[in-house]
Structure 1
Amino acid sequence: MNPISLFCILAGVALNACAQLLLKAGTNAVGHFEFTRANILPIGFRLATQLPIIGGLACYVVSVVVWVVGLSRVDVSIAYPMLSLGYVVNAFAAWYLFGEVLSMQRLIGIGIILIGVFVLARS
């Protein structure tokens, strides 16, 4: 994998992870909600007008463009598993930004993911 291909794949992963974090920040701003017929429009409007959610959706759009460029250069059997790096990024970012718990079990899972990506990248 050449540097440009690697950049496209990692940029796609980073943008996807950023999108998830922004969506979480937007839903945190709205708070816990239930979708019912009575509140689907008010909650939908509140969600649609949250800047972090708009930013998250924009990150998704850009990530798809970057990802398509990456897929044009890298086998999908290599590129797609690289998306699991997003789990690692999001776990640590959610711990740092949102105070989510990183239990030993989660850290072991993250380690397994990193080992798998390393083995895959070396193939």
Structure 2
Amino acid sequence: MNLQTFSIIFAGVLLNSAAQLMLKAGAKTLGTVTMGSGQSLMAAACNAATQPWIVLGLVCYFVSAGLWIIALTRVDVTIAYPMLSMGYVIAALLAWQLFGEPLTSGRVLGIAIILAGVVVLSRS
């Protein structure tokens, strides 16, 4: 995989991670959504559709999907798809910083394993 292709994949991963964090920020403003009646779900959906963080997160997903399609025209899916795991690393570290989510020793070990796998895959 060349640097340009890796950059496209990494940009998509960054956007995907950003989307997750924006959706979380928007979800925090919504509060807990209950799975009650169809009417309550519709009200929650309308409320979510007006949350700027949620809308921006969905836009990031859309752009990320476009980059993903470009990446798939350049590399095998068996190489590209595991690279998405970098998104977990980025999201976990930023969620820890931005939302105070715990970063336990088990999560740190998992992140290290993911990063080792990404290095191995990027060299194949």
TM-score under structure 1 length normalisation: 0.95
In structure 2, distance between residues paired with 1:35 and 1:15: 29
In structure 1, distance between residues paired with 2:14 and 2:67: 11
In structure 1, distance between residues paired with 2:45 and 2:69: 30
In structure 2, distance between residues paired with 1:105 and 1:2: 32
Moved more, 6-15 or 82-91: 6-15
Q: Which structure 1 residue ranges, 4+ long, deviate > 6 Å from structure 2?
A: none
In structure 2, distance between residues paired with 1:35 and 1:12: 32
Moved more, 35-44 or 81-90: 35-44
Q: Which amino acid aligns with 1:66?
A: L
Q: Which amino acid aligns with 1:62?
A: V
Over the aligned positions, Cα root-mean-square deviation in angstroms equals 1.0
Per the alignment, residue 32 of structure 1 pairs with 32
Per the alignment, residue 65 of structure 2 pairs with 64
Deviation at 1:36, TM superposition (A): 1.2
Deviation at 1:3, TM superposition (A): 2.1
In structure 2, distance between residues paired with 1:23 and 1:29: 10
* Unmatched runs of 5 consecutive residues or more in structure 1: none
Moved more, 85-94 or 38-47: 38-47
Per the alignment, residue 79 of structure 2 pairs with 78
In structure 2, distance between residues paired with 1:71 and 1:113: 21
In structure 2, distance between residues paired with 1:29 and 1:75: 39
In structure 1, distance between residues paired with 2:3 and 2:118: 17
In structure 1, distance between residues paired with 2:42 and 2:74: 42
In structure 2, distance between residues paired with 1:43 and 1:23: 14
TM-score under structure 2 length normalisation: 0.95
